[in-house]
Structure 1
């Protein structure tokens, strides 16, 4: 259960593409960061998700030459890579869980035996596809032929454009190129609507419209084809779990637009923001919990019964923002900012596309807390803070905010040097990138450890005050 936020390049302050998503399931789902080197596969080699205990028995031929790519996978399977870039500059984030209409699924159900799921998408697309459009077309063809094992939305970004794909039923899908001057938000629901099979900004399954007509999900006499209306769920379950997140995103960036939260599907699919948006705005969305409002489930004391589901929940196991700046060398122009655990109480750490290796503890971690993995360094701090969010959260949020601002200054300095160095000394430029990126990661980890100790000290002091049991002299 996730939230997706996308911004076109003409809607950002610096002309970059932004693609953000939270990945929500369980706080015990440790996440890793893995760099997959380029490799060659023998003819006939197959990718089999069952070999890695994946969700279905999906299989697909391996490419002869697999490109280098990164992923942030589940510790149990090393699959379900939530996000990654490959060496060609293609970035993918997936998936946003979405739900098809029950009556449509009864006719064309998900292929839960051998269909493709979020476990597989990163590891199928990134080793072989070079552009966002190519990635969309390959995933679409797999949905048509193998079927989808579940409902999902996936975003693809490259140096030129962003595409977003949503499934309908088991073998139906639609994708749309995100307009340059808008943003898009989605919270566990089908959001794409109008579809023109003859327009270049759309792609979809060959019988997408005909299927809907044949089975009574679309009547051409009533107006243009509406993908969401024809294929995706829209009922009371969406009113409090999904719609409020999209409503909140649009309220942040189009405050002059007044719309009832219960309007749901009638919210604009794409919105032109009232100001240009930044990387910090994308992080802000990933950290949002209806801050300080009556629906804030944390700031007034924990309220697990709050009906409006926020973007940032404790069970978020990672959130990320992909930033693509085509005017820079790819090694520094493509960056994934990852917040391990709950984004509201985490630090968005940069992982440059040109990063060649990460410390070993980025590749470990399980469902049991430990003292080594990067995931659990952040998760233990977040768990402690949630015992008294109003008291401890402001300390952590300020510290991580200061850290991110300091990192931005260091990144700008490194990038400026890199651009000059790469012209004459590629080896030195690469070394500079590695050194700086690893230093930034280490600084974030050290801060998380320091904050954990700070909060433990405060918690110890507070518990002692409440349970002192002093003698008459008040001394011991």
Structure 2
């Protein structure tokens, strides 16, 4: 269960392509950051999900020459890579869980035995595809031929385009290039609407329209083909679980927009933001929990029965922002900002495409807390802060905001120096990037450690005050 934002290049603050997504499942599902080196496979080698204890028995040929790429997978299987770049500058975020209408799935169900799922998408596409358009087409072909094992939405970006793909039923799909001037926001629901097979900015399964027409999900007399209406679930569950998230995202980026939350199906698919979308906007969205509204389940004391499902939930295991800046050297132009755990109590760290390695702690962590992994450093801090969110969360948020601001200043300085060095001494530029990125990771760990001590100090004083049992002379 996730939340996604896709931003066209003319809608962003600096002309970059932007994609943001939260990944929500279990707080105990530790995430790792993995750099997969370029690799040569023998003829006939196969990727098999079952080899990694994945969700289905999906398999697909491995490329002879696999490209270098990154992923953020779960600890147990090393699958569901969540987000990553490859060496050609293709970035993917996936997946957004979405739900098809039950009557359509009864005719064309998900292939839960051997269909492709979120476990597989990045590890199949990133080693072999060079562009967003190529990756969209390949994933679509796999859905058509082998089937989708579940409903999902996937974002793709390169230095020319940004796309979003949604499944319909088990073998039907649609994708659309996000127009340059607008953004797209989704929360666990199919959002793409009108499909024209002749439009070069759209792709879809060959029988997308005919299947819907044949089975009574679309009547040509009603007007243009509406993908969401034909294939996507739309009932009371969406009104409280999904629509409020789309509503608040559009409210953040279009403050003057007035619309009823219950009218979610009619929210615009694409909107031009009132101000250019910044990285900070996307961080704020990933951290949003309806603060300022009565539906905030944290700020007034924890309320697990709140009907509106916020974007930032405790079981978020990571949130990320993927950025492509085509005018920069790819090594620094492509960057993923990752916040491990619950985003509103976490810190977005930059992972540059040119990064050679990450600290050992970024590849550690299981479903049991430890003292080494970066995931559990964040998660233990977040768990502690949730014991008294109104008191402790502001301390964490203030410190991380200061740290992110300091990192941003250092990034700007590093990128300027890197660009200058890159023109004459690529190795020196490369070394600068490695040093910077590792320093940032180390500084972030220090901030976490400091916050843990600060929160324990506050809690210790609070508990002592409430349980002092002083003697009459107050001497011991």
Cα offset for 1:471? 1.4
For 1:90 and 1:201, the matched residues in 2 are separated by 18
Partner SS, residue 133 of structure 2:
helix
Deviations 1:153-206 (A, max 9, x none): 000000011000000000000000000010110000000000000000100000
Deviations 1:343-392 (A, max 9, x none): 00000000000000011111110000000000000000000000000001
Deviations 1:382-441 (A, max 9, x none): 000000000011111010001111001100111111111111111111000000011011
For 1:325 and 1:280, the matched residues in 2 are separated by 16
Deviations 1:206-254 (A, max 9, x none): 0000000000000001111000000000000000000000000111111
Q: Which residue of 2 aligns with 1:3?
A: 3
For 1:82 and 1:461, the matched residues in 2 are separated by 40
Q: Which residue of 2 aligns with 1:234?
A: 234
Cα offset for 1:278? 0.5
Partner SS, residue 271 of structure 2:
coil
Q: Which residue of 1 aligns with 2:168?
A: 168
Partner SS, residue 312 of structure 2:
coil
Q: Which residue of 2 aligns with 1:81?
A: 81
For 1:73 and 1:445, the matched residues in 2 are separated by 20
Report the more deviating stretch, 6-15 or 195-204: 6-15
Cα offset for 1:292? 2.5
Partner SS, residue 350 of structure 1:
strand
Q: Which residue of 1 aligns with 2:326?
A: 326
Cα offset for 1:475? 2.7
Q: Which residue of 2 aligns with 1:129?
A: 129
Partner SS, residue 427 of structure 2:
helix
Q: Which residue of 2 aligns with 1:43?
A: 43
For 2:453 and 2:131, the matched residues in 1 are separated by 45
Q: Which residue of 2 aligns with 1:312?
A: 312
Q: Which residue of 2 aligns with 1:151?
A: 151
Partner SS, residue 384 of structure 1:
helix
Cα offset for 1:472? 1.7
Q: Which residue of 2 aligns with 1:436?
A: 436
Q: Which residue of 1 aligns with 2:101?
A: 101
- Normalised by the length of structure 1, the TM-score is 0.99
For 1:193 and 1:449, the matched residues in 2 are separated by 47
For 1:305 and 1:445, the matched residues in 2 are separated by 34
Contact 1:50 1:57 in 2 (8 A): yes
Q: Which residue of 2 aligns with 1:195?
A: 195
Unaligned runs of 5+ in 1: none
For 2:97 and 2:12, the matched residues in 1 are separated by 26
> How do 1:246-285 and structure 2 match up within 5 A?
246-285=246-285
Contact 1:292 1:299 in 2 (8 A): no
Cα offset for 1:474? 2.4
Q: Which residue of 2 aligns with 1:70?
A: 70
Partner SS, residue 218 of structure 1:
coil
Cα offset for 1:457? 1.1
For 1:72 and 1:115, the matched residues in 2 are separated by 22
For 1:28 and 1:459, the matched residues in 2 are separated by 24
Cα offset for 1:119? 0.2
Partner SS, residue 20 of structure 1:
strand
Q: Which residue of 1 aligns with 2:140?
A: 140
1:414 corresponds to 2:414: yes
For 2:174 and 2:293, the matched residues in 1 are separated by 36
Aligned residue-pair number:
476
Q: Which residue of 2 aligns with 1:295?
A: 295
- Normalised by the length of structure 2, the TM-score is 0.99
Cα offset for 1:257? 1.6
For 1:70 and 1:256, the matched residues in 2 are separated by 39
Cα offset for 1:17? 0.9
For 2:129 and 2:76, the matched residues in 1 are separated by 26
For 2:186 and 2:274, the matched residues in 1 are separated by 19
1:465 corresponds to 2:458: no
Deviations 1:249-305 (A, max 9, x none): 111111222111000110000000111111111111100001131011111111111
Q: Which residue of 1 aligns with 2:450?
A: 450
Q: Which residue of 1 aligns with 2:115?
A: 115
Q: Which residue of 2 aligns with 1:359?
A: 359
Cα offset for 1:92? 0.2
For 2:295 and 2:24, the matched residues in 1 are separated by 19
For 2:203 and 2:167, the matched residues in 1 are separated by 12
For 1:445 and 1:327, the matched residues in 2 are separated by 32
Q: Which residue of 1 aligns with 2:423?
A: 423
Partner SS, residue 387 of structure 2:
helix
Report the more deviating stretch, 116-125 or 422-431: 422-431
- Could you list the structure 1 runs, at least 4 aligned residues long, displaced by more than 4 angstroms after superposition: none
Unaligned runs of 5+ in 2: none
Contact 1:407 1:440 in 2 (8 A): yes
Query: What's the C-alpha RMSD, in Å, of the aligned pairs?
Result: 0.6
Deviations 1:427-476 (A, max 9, x none): 11100000001101111111011101110111111111111111122232
